Chain A
Amino acid sequence: MLGVPTATLRTWEERYGVVMPDRSPGGHRLYTRDHVEQLRFVLRSIEQGMQPADAHRLLKDRLGDHPDAKVAITGSETRLVIMLAERDPHAAELAEYFLRTEGYETIMALEAREAEAVFEERSPHLAVVDLLISGGAGPDLCRTFRERGALVLAISPLESRDEALEYGADAFLQKPLDPLQLVSTVKDLLGQSAFLRTEVLSS
């Protein structure tokens, strides 16, 4: 189904227990339209770089939040894009997950050069920049992204609020990032450019 081998579907079903097809009287798996939509969501998330476990977790999260599942898991085309320029893969993975659960599309870059390339290609609305990325290239990234019109949220394990604002960042958070704080800061920042949001959503 949808190009996914049957064995993989079974493994997902057993391991994550999220997409659970009905059974025919003969014991065959019956996928409803909703199930197919849910699998599409999982596949799309995996395509965007998510682990299958996280894709299912995200799906479960969405289904839990929204009784009308179709609304929650479709329509990804109009989402705001956030880039994470973060040197620590674990921190990046967590931040990505928490932002995705809020409906943002996220792209990751673990090094400064990669971050610049990704920025060129995708023009994110907001960039989360670790000041210590690639041995301390964060300040330059902040200035560059800000000049090109993106919102910048600087992060660092060090208390560098004043420095971050000097580099042109719109906000600063100290690591490790508290998920609620991250999401609310991002929401606040994106809320400030309402025109951008309208523009994106209407396109």
Chain B
Amino acid sequence: MSERVSSGSERLNDMLGGGLPANGINLIIGLPGSGKTILAQQYAFHNATRERPAIYLSTVSEPLEKILRYGQTLSFFDQRAIGSAVFYEDLGGTVNDQGLPGVLERVSGFLKERRPGMIVIDSFKALHPYARRDEDFRRFLHELAGRLSAFPVTSFWVGEYGHDEIAESAEFAVADSILSLSVDRVGGREFRVFQVLKLRGSDFLSGKHAYRISGDGVQFFPRLADPVDQEPYELDDARISSGITILDEMLGRGYWHGASTLVAGPSGSGKTLMGLHFIFEGARRGEPGVIATLQENAAQLERIVHGFGWTLDEEGVELMYRTPVDLYLDEWVHELLQTVEATGARRIVIDSLGDLKAVSTDDTRFREYVYSLLQRCSRQGVSVMMTQEVGELFGVTRLSEFGISHISDNVVLLQFLRGESRVKHGITVMKTRASAHDPQIREFEITGDGFVVGDHFAADQDLA
């Protein structure tokens, strides 16, 4: 593999197949406020050394003073590096006085004097008006690209370009890579979207990825898309307990190790409680678990679990609560995987899929996400339970899910049934992959001890 330039962000490097190929010309494009300058500075500070410094050239778009003023609030901005490893220079005066030939001469001068490993020109697009004709700008581009290619330097041209300009502006043809920062609008919400539009000489992770801007710079959340042809892996034949004895029997000795289970049912039917059984049983058996919930915060959930004699402080129980407000699916998945890694979790409960679906921008992508997540967990032997609310209170005729029951190994349906002047709870194992199961509908009650599953319903029970 050719030499790569790291961004300092492992996830961004991964999306770029290991990093940007060294000594290339890279375009960072996006509308004002999208984080282009921050990303370029991230690259500069991460790679600059005294021997091979980074030179940051501002042009006529944003004054150098401003770039520095905002830059210093970022955690990676190392003031001590400025003037020794990172040099900020203003090209605005040069381009105003001497036009584009002046820019060429200054860049050549920097190459000779400072021998940089990296050069950023921000904004590059702002140089356009200094060419009288289109040919002049092309000549300038050709000359500049020639000079930059003759020296081992990685360049970033930063500009407020839109995607519609890619076919028109010559710099896109010259560039070895194009990194785009943009915004997708869905309803009233905005999602920051990162895309690699071009990358010469390297594979990259295509599609749209989420990112956020924080005090640590631009943070990336690559979309979860596990390649189809991965290394083969073996599934053992161990079974794990659901935490509910009779349910284990219905499933044929519990769930397969590393399997995924969808628990569907109307509101109040006990889905969350089934998840809690699953997690606390795991904790009891030394299999740590993560409760990834978008429903109850720690205090609310503690009150619930307390009612069943459990506590969230129990060893082997990790709560990952995230509010569904302004949630990025990509970010959430990465946090979940990180939490699983950090805690050594063997079990996960996702409560609920509906909340995740609500923050997803695209149905197909949502299914891909869940599929990739389940695949990854299965490979690691992590068992996953997902809850899914169904719309109908009685007589569930369809699972209003998003094709997830299809990709889940097991499906358990919780439902309300009427009879004898009361509402009864019914539990049914609808599907178990690679295993036989008891197909009967059994009655259960929710008591202080949690689920108490009883016998199957009599023939006269109304199922509608």
Contacts and interface: CB of A to CB of B under 8 A. Distances in A.
Interface of A: 53-54, 57, 88-91, 93-94, 97-98, 175-180
B150 A94 contact: yes
A97 B112 contact: yes
B109 A176 contact: no
B115 interface: yes
B146 A176 contact: no
Nearest to A176: B152
A94 B115 CA distance: 10
Contacts of A89: 146
A97 B51 CA distance: 18
* Pairs of residues from A and B, 10 with the lowest C-beta to C-beta distance, nearest first: A91-B150, A90-B150, A176-B152, A90-B146, A90-B147, A178-B152, A97-B112, A176-B151, A179-B115, A94-B150
A89 B149 CA distance: 11
A56 B348 CA distance: 68
B115 A53 contact: no
Contacts of A53: 105, 108-109
Interface in B144-163: 146-147, 149-153
Which residue among A89, A176, A177 has the maximum number of chain B CB atoms within 10 Å of its CB? A176
A180 B270 CA distance: 70
Interface string B89-109: 000000000000000010011
Give the dominant DSSP class at A's interface. helix
Contacts of A176: 23, 149-153
Interface residues of B, number: 16
A90 B112 contact: no
A174 to B, nearest CB: 10
A180 B108 CA distance: 17
Contacts of A179: 115
Contacts of A180: 51, 115
22 contacts: A53-B105, A54-B112, A57-B109, A57-B113, A88-B146, A90-B146, A90-B149, A90-B150, A91-B151, A93-B108, A93-B150, A94-B111, A94-B112, A94-B150, A94-B151, A97-B112, A98-B112, A176-B149, A176-B152, A178-B152, A179-B115, A180-B115
Given A54-B112, A57-B112, A88 B105 contact: no
Interface of B: 23, 51, 105, 108-109, 111-113, 115, 146-147, 149-153
Contacts of A93: 108, 150
A90 B419 CA distance: 88
A132 to B, nearest CB: 14
Contacts of B115: 179-180
B143 to A, nearest CB: 8
B142 to A, nearest CB: 11
Contacts of A94: 111-112, 150-151
B102 to A, nearest CB: 11
A57 B106 CA distance: 12
A53 B109 CA distance: 8
A93 B150 CA distance: 9
B99 to A, nearest CB: 15
A89 B105 CA distance: 15
A54 B146 CA distance: 18
Nearest to A89: B146
A177 B306 CA distance: 68
Contacts of B149: 90, 176
B342 to A, nearest CB: 41
B152 A177 contact: yes
Contacts of B109: 53, 57
Nearest to A91: B150
B150 A88 contact: yes
B150 to A, nearest CB: 4
A16 to B, nearest CB: 10
Contacts of A88: 146, 150
A56 to B, nearest CB: 10
Which residue among B109, B112, B113, B152 has the maximum number of chain A CB atoms within 10 Å of its CB? B112
A73 to B, nearest CB: 18
Given A53-B108, A94-B151, A180-B115, 8 more contacts: A53-B109, A57-B109, A88-B150, A90-B149, A94-B112, A98-B112, A177-B151, A178-B152
A147 to B, nearest CB: 29
A53 B107 CA distance: 12
A114 B152 CA distance: 27
A179 B110 CA distance: 13
A4 to B, nearest CB: 20
A90 B111 CA distance: 11
A178 B49 CA distance: 15
A176 B150 CA distance: 5
Nearest to A60: B113
A123 to B, nearest CB: 27
